[in-house]
Structure 1
């Protein structure tokens, strides 16, 4: 049995990060279904934070208004082309993007990252699948349901959908537990692991696929690692 260790550096407001996460899910499923003995191999994913800090205001603001600011140097035609490209890439990964909704003040995703971290360090109460489901639910809330993931009610609903106990999620969000850990990791990732931005994947501490790797790129890396271990 092989163990694949994967560090996934991302921020929940990053559409490309969601696509990369979906591609990773698909690659793992494909590997475990097709590679001889692959169903017995283990994928240990560490979800680490990055703050993109898109919202410079002290209050929640419409995402489309933020896009106007961030993409002010693009023509309407360029923006339309970018949206079409993102929508096509999303649909290819099973994501139907909704570009509406709001985003809270910076760091808007701090509590979302805290919640994911605490589920992963809850003393064995939750497994890696629950944590991965929570990551998926938060991405889905922001990118497909047009919800503000700085809002605790949104995070509580995402936690419920992922199978996290309501009492745990409420207690964690009402506190600032692991806030210092998340702040330090996010700062470290900007200066070291994810210097070129997100998404950043590091597989087995060696392989760093560039940009948003597709399913077959990831599959080739998994096979290469597995055969090297054999």
Structure 2
């Protein structure tokens, strides 16, 4: 079964949603699933170097206090799922384009899913600036890729065209928010759903691609 995951690496709901999909897949141990990461930038106009967290929160939510009110729901949800989420450790909100490129680079070595997990943890637990190329290469080394070679690729335009094309395709499909999971290019489930919500779609593992039906929540 092909499961295309449209997400942004700086999106806390995508972080939660990925863990919930993993939990759902654990309940279907005989299902042969291919998880294919698809990039989506929530902030496509973010400066290349990102911006300070305080400036970002002020621009997006009108200030840190309002942001804290909004993020409290996210933090409570993550806590119930046993997922560490330490937003106060994040000093900068990065441009996530290069992090998406890194997931694609990791995919060449068969570790895209592990790379996504590592990048989520680096950002939401350790407060790493995942827009910084050296930081990204260090995260890559943690999943077994060579630091120097990965840093060289990140310094080039490797996978830039594919990330831009995939992000554009998502918008052409009408995606305006993430996460969104598309199963066998036929059914889509949007939002960080509970694991049980994934199960009926996982059970359609033998379905052939047809028209896309979206289930939101």
TM-score range, shorter chain: 0.7 to 0.9
Alignment correspondent of 2:42: 52
Q: Does 2:5 correspond to 1:8?
A: yes
* TM-score, normalised by the number of residues in structure 1: 0.80
Q: Does 2:99 correspond to 1:112?
A: yes
Q: Higher helix share goes to which structure? A: 1
Would the aligned equivalents of 1:55 and 1:66 in 2 still touch at CA under 8 Å?
no
Would the aligned equivalents of 2:58 and 2:64 in 1 still touch at CA under 8 Å?
no
User: How far did residue 173 of structure 1 move?
Assistant: 1.0
Structure 2 unaligned runs (5+)? 209-217
> Considering only aligned residues, what root-mean-square deviation do their CA atoms show, in Å?
2.3
Alignment correspondent of 2:176: 196
* TM-score, normalised by the number of residues in structure 2: 0.84
**Cα distance between partner residues in 2 of 1:214 and 1:136:** 18
Q: Does 2:158 correspond to 1:158?
A: no
**Cα distance between partner residues in 2 of 1:23 and 1:146:** 22
Would the aligned equivalents of 1:54 and 1:66 in 2 still touch at CA under 8 Å?
no
**Cα distance between partner residues in 2 of 1:44 and 1:119:** 15
1:104-147 CA-partner distances (Å, limit 9, x unpaired): 3xxx1111111111222x3xxx22xx221100111111111111
Aligned pair in 2 of structure 1 residues 226, 12: CA closer, same or farther (>3 Å)? closer
Q: Which has the larger radius of gyration?
A: 1
Q: Does 2:77 correspond to 1:85?
A: no
Alignment correspondent of 1:35: none
Q: How many residues in Structure 1 have an aligned counterpart in Structure 2?
A: 206
Aligned pair in 2 of structure 1 residues 19, 177: CA closer, same or farther (>3 Å)? same
